[in-house]
Structure 1
Amino acid sequence: MAAIEPVRVDSDRLREAGIRPTSQRLGVMRAIREGGRRHLTPESFHRELSDAGIRMSLATVYNTLNNFAEAGLLRRVGVGDRTWFCTNTGEHHHFYDVVSGQLEDIHGPQPQVIDLPQAPPGMAIQGIDVVIKVRRI
């Protein structure tokens, strides 16, 4: 059985998410897929793409990551004024190291939020993101 070409898989995945598969978007999708599970900032990912020979503006990286998050291909995680894009789209929460600024997945049992308030009228709860701030002792 022949392997399916990664570009075709990425192209199909983008189309299924309602995103037109341009060469830049395919390059971003390939870099995300090949990089495995991790947390990307637009700035660090822009450097990574540049190092891989993929040339695009930082604004395009921001827009593409945001588009991917809106389509469910990434998860947007905000802590304070910083935003990360998590490649693990499954339900999970995060630890945030306040000294290093690193974000990492919480593995294993996840924190449980109890006694959630009702959403305001006309609104529905879309999800809950728990970020536990930690510091090395």
Structure 2
Amino acid sequence: MTEHLHHVEEHDRDVTDMLRDAGLRPTRQRVSLAELLYSKGNRHISAEILHEEAVRAKVPVSLATVYNTLHQFTEAGLLREVAIDGTKTYFDTNVHDHHHFFIEGENRVVDIPNDGVGIGRIPQAPEGMEIVRIDVVVRVRPKS
């Protein structure tokens, strides 16, 4: 830990530093969940799946705490929320602008390659509002 390489990729950075940089206190539960989240590169994960991983890794954490932590990470800019149908929410470790395929039947979210979506016209935001970002979710399923 004493040798800290500055050119390592973001997800390889010490999660304690990452949490501090985002303005979050690095509690044991946050650090444990961050290690689970970011140890596998960019991915899309639900609170339930992360909770299962935490249980398997012997991290003593409730599903409610996992939800709260994911929302705190999202507010701090460490995760991006991808809502499907308003019933399923995935959290994306890649916070850069990009769009998603939702694979029906598998309940899986995958990135659409960068040049995969072109958006022609963007509506004017309502009075006093500004557009934060545009999320495109393309639903796909195997051909029958």
Counterparts of 2:106 and 2:35 in 1: how far apart (Å)?
Answer: 28
1:37 to 29, 33, 42: 42
- Tell me if the contact between 1:92 and 1:110 (Cα under 8 Å) persists in the aligned partners: no
Give the gaps of 5 or more residues in structure 2. 6-10
Alignment map for 1:42-121 (pairs within 5 Å): 42-80=47-85, 81-121=87-127
- Tell me if the contact between 2:37 and 2:50 (Cα under 8 Å) persists in the aligned partners: no
Q: Which one-letter code corresponds to 1:4 in the other structure?
A: H
Q: Which one-letter code corresponds to 1:9 in the other structure?
A: D
Q: Deviations over 1:87-116 (max 9, x none)?
A: 111111100012211111112413121211
Moved more, 98-107 or 69-78: 98-107
- Percent same amino acid at aligned positions? 43
Q: Deviations over 1:25-78 (max 9, x none)?
A: 011111112122111100011000110111100000000001101111011000
Q: What residue in structure 1 maps to residue 138 of structure 2?
A: 132
SS in 1 for 2:115: coil
Instruction: Output the aligned Cα RMSD.
Output: 2.0
- Tell me if the contact between 2:82 and 2:89 (Cα under 8 Å) persists in the aligned partners: yes
**Which aligned runs of 4 or more in structure 1 are off by greater than 6 angstroms?**
none
Counterparts of 2:28 and 2:4 in 1: how far apart (Å)?
Answer: 18
Instruction: Give the alignment's TM-score, normalised by structure 1.
Output: 0.91
Count of aligned positions: 136
Give the gaps of 5 or more residues in structure 1. none
- Tell me if the contact between 2:16 and 2:31 (Cα under 8 Å) persists in the aligned partners: yes
SS in 2 for 1:109: helix
